[in-house]
Chain A
Amino acid sequence: MSIDWINFTPFSALAGGVLIGLSAALFLLFEGRIAGISGIVGGLFQTRQPGNFAWRIAFVAGLILSPWLYLAFSQLPAVQVDASWGTLAVAGVLVGFGTRFGSGCTSGHGVCGLSRLSVRSLVATLTFMAAGFLTVFVVRHLLA
């Protein structure tokens, strides 16, 4: 292992993290809800809870519109998607099914759950981190 000092961005990473934490804090303290994205989105497909659509759609709309808010202050940073179309489709299904099956993703388990000191979320976070590290290792170093 070597550290990629050129791409290491400690200050913006911390600042972005604090902003993510603040939005999750607002959501919990005022709405009484966990800002877990997979749960918010997945709930749209649960037919058992009618009347629960509007705020979920509004939250997702906020995420989709956030680049425009960012653009009002600064130029958007470059984003680069290396995965092929086929890989993206497979990855998307795995992420969608997996986060619902495991009751959470990076935000719900990784941020909110760990903040609550939930053992369940700690196990989930260690599992998806380990699976992510392992997958990248296989793709970049074993198959490449």
Chain B
Amino acid sequence: MSILFSLLVGLVFGTGLIIAGMADPSKVLGFLDLAGNWDPSLALVMAGAIAIGLVTYRLAGRRTVSLMGKPMNVPVVENVDRRLVIGSGLFGIGWGLAGICPGPSFVLLGIGSAKGLVFVVAMLAGMVLFELYQRFDRT
């Protein structure tokens, strides 16, 4: 059930990305190019998503279980640390270089873009690198 539901949510999420224009890296870069001919569209993608999100978290409130009776896995960490800033900075550099972030990378893959495939493979490698770093950091 959980598997089917996750598939469905992924499908709707991906469709939203396509409609929003997020699956097109050149449009994303058009948004990130403040000094050039700026395309503000993606600010509205965030606005639309967050408007729904604000209502959602109001509805979720202090629930400890979901509507399906599952535990709520909402982050509890609230401190701003070095990792958060460095990691987000590195992500932003990669995002600015390619115009692709994790969600849209898989949509690009589905569209059949060879460049999307290269990006996804490199991104997964980066995630594996992080797991290796974690292990190294702990010992």
Q: How large is the interface on A (under 10, 10 to 19, 20 to 34, 35 or more residues)?
A: 35 or more
In the bound assembly, the distance between CA atoms of A69 and B9 in angstroms comes to: 12
Chain A residue numbers with a CB within 8 Å of B29 are 82, 136
Contact A16 B84 (CB under 8 A): no
Contact of A114 among B48, B53, B87, B105 (CB under 8 A): B53
Contact A77 B18 (CB under 8 A): yes
Chain B residue numbers with a CB within 8 Å of A100 are 87, 126-127, 130-131
Interface residues of B (CB under 8 A from A): 2-27, 29-30, 32-57, 59-60, 65-68, 70-75, 77-80, 83-103, 105-111, 113, 115-116, 118-131, 133
Contact A87 B20 (CB under 8 A): no
Q: Is the interface of B mostly helix, strand, loop or mixed?
A: helix
In the complex formed, the residue of B with least CB distance to A122 is B80
In the bound assembly, the distance between CA atoms of A54 and B113 in angstroms comes to: 25
Chain B residue numbers with a CB within 8 Å of A80 are 24-26
Q: Could you list 16 A-B pairs, sorted by A, with CB under 8 Å?
A: A24-B49, A25-B52, A63-B13, A64-B106, A65-B7, A80-B24, A88-B100, A89-B122, A91-B97, A93-B122, A93-B126, A105-B101, A134-B96, A135-B93, A135-B95, A135-B96
Contact A21 B127 (CB under 8 A): no
Interface residues of A (CB under 8 A from B): 1-4, 7-10, 12-35, 37-38, 41-42, 45-47, 54-56, 58-70, 76-83, 85, 87-107, 109-120, 123-125, 127-137, 139-141
Contact of A102 among B42, B77, B87 (CB under 8 A): B87
Chain A residue numbers with a CB within 8 Å of B10 are 23, 58-63, 65-66
Q: A32-B70, A132-B32 are contacts. A13–B41 as well, Cβ < 8 Å?
A: yes
In the bound assembly, the distance between CA atoms of A66 and B32 in angstroms comes to: 25
Contact of B21 among A37, A63, A77 (CB under 8 A): A77
In the complex formed, the residue of A with least CB distance to B68 is A30
Smallest CB separation, B25 vs chain A (Å): 5
In the bound assembly, the distance between CA atoms of A94 and B105 in angstroms comes to: 13
In the complex formed, the residue of B with least CB distance to A141 is B35
Q: A32-B65, A139-B97 are contacts. A88–B41 as well, Cβ < 8 Å?
A: no
In the bound assembly, the distance between CA atoms of A17 and B96 in angstroms comes to: 20
Chain B residue numbers with a CB within 8 Å of A60 are 10, 106
In the bound assembly, the distance between CA atoms of A54 and B96 in angstroms comes to: 32
Contact of A133 among B11, B32, B49 (CB under 8 A): B32
Contact A82 B99 (CB under 8 A): yes
